């Protein structure tokens, strides 16, 4: 079974600074997808960024980028120019590449606090 | 596109009572998922529908839990004889039948069993 580990229960960053959230995963599959989801307090979860395992290039979405190390099974999220609106719980998630293996496997999450 | 909606948003019930939650996915999304999230933890998969067919169920889904998706549109999740351990946020998500694999989440139903 696949597992996702987020070893940082909580992180803090100063506004406009850069922060990196860590995620490692365990799988025996070669085809899979990795995601970072953001869950603001009392609001619904939204997708931040997605990485396909077959792509060597790291995904980037505006101020958000990932460092995908397939051999090390590591998938960290870097947030540049942090904003107050980035404060939330961040979840790393894994999804099998099989057609019917649709479920997301989540880590325990990292609370990100942004200081003004 | 109004997003995934869930009803009710909050439910307080006494132990032993039955509760039912509803999820309305984004229209034309044929895949629907239920997850359970306890405080301070990541969501855990419960079950998955493709159209009206329930294709996968987690071992977390005990006999007291049942989910349906009649006609492949909205879905309901029923918990019978609730226990205090059932207290959690129940999340619904939907996705289209495309290669994108993104799941869109609803706001959740927070269940408190007293």
Q: What is the pLDDT along chain A (116 residues), one digit of tens a residue?
A: 889 999 999 999 999 999 999 999 999 998 899 999 999 988 889 999 999 999 989 999 999 999 999 999 999 999 999 999 999 999 999 998 877 767 999 999 999 999 99
Q: Which of A54, A75, A53, A74 is nearest to A66 (CA)?
A: A75
The whole-angstrom separation of Cα B88 and Cα B100 is 29
Give the pLDDT confidence of B71-101 residue by residue, as tens digits. 889 999 999 999 999 999 999 999 987 656 6
State the smallest CA–CA distance between residue A16 and chain B in angstroms: 27
CB contact under 8 A, A106 and B42: yes
CB contact under 8 A, A93 and B105: no
Note the pLDDT of residue B98.
Answer: 67
The whole-angstrom separation of Cα B94 and Cα B102 is 8
Q: Residue B106 above 60 pLDDT?
A: yes
List of chain B residues whose C-beta atoms are within 8 Å of the C-beta of residue A53 = none
Chain B residues 46-65 with CB within 8 Å of chain A = 48, 50, 55-56, 58
The whole-angstrom separation of Cα A52 and Cα B57 is 25
């Amino acid at each position: 079974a696949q597992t996702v580990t987020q070893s940082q229960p909580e992180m803090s960053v100063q506004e406009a600074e850069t922060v990196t959230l860590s995620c490692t995963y365990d799988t025996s599959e070669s085809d899979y997808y990795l995601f970072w989801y953001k869950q603001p307090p009392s609001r619904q979860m939204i997708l931040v960024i997605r990485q396909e395992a077959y792509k060597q290039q790291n995904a980037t979405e505006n101020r958000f980028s990932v460092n995908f190390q397939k051999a090390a099974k590591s998938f960290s999220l870097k947030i540049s120019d942090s904003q107050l609106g980035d404060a939330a719980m961040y979840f790393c998630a894994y999804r099998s590449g099989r057609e019917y293996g649709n479920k997301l496997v989540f880590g325990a999450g990292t609370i990100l606090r942004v200081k003004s | 596109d109004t997003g995934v909606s869930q009803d009710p948003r909050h439910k307080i019930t006494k132990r032993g009572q039955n509760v039912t939650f509803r999820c309305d996915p984004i229209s034309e999304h044929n895949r629907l998922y239920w997850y359970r999230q306890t405080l301070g933890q990541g969501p855990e998969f419960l079950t998955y529908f493709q159209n009206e067919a329930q294709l996968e169920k987690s071992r977390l889904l005990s006999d007291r839990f049942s989910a349906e998706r009649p006609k492949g549109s909205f879905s309901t999740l029923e918990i019978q004889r609730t226990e205090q351990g059932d207290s959690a946020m129940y999340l619904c998500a939907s996705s289209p039948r495309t290669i994108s694999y993104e799941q869109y989440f609803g706001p959740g139903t927070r269940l408190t069993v007293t």
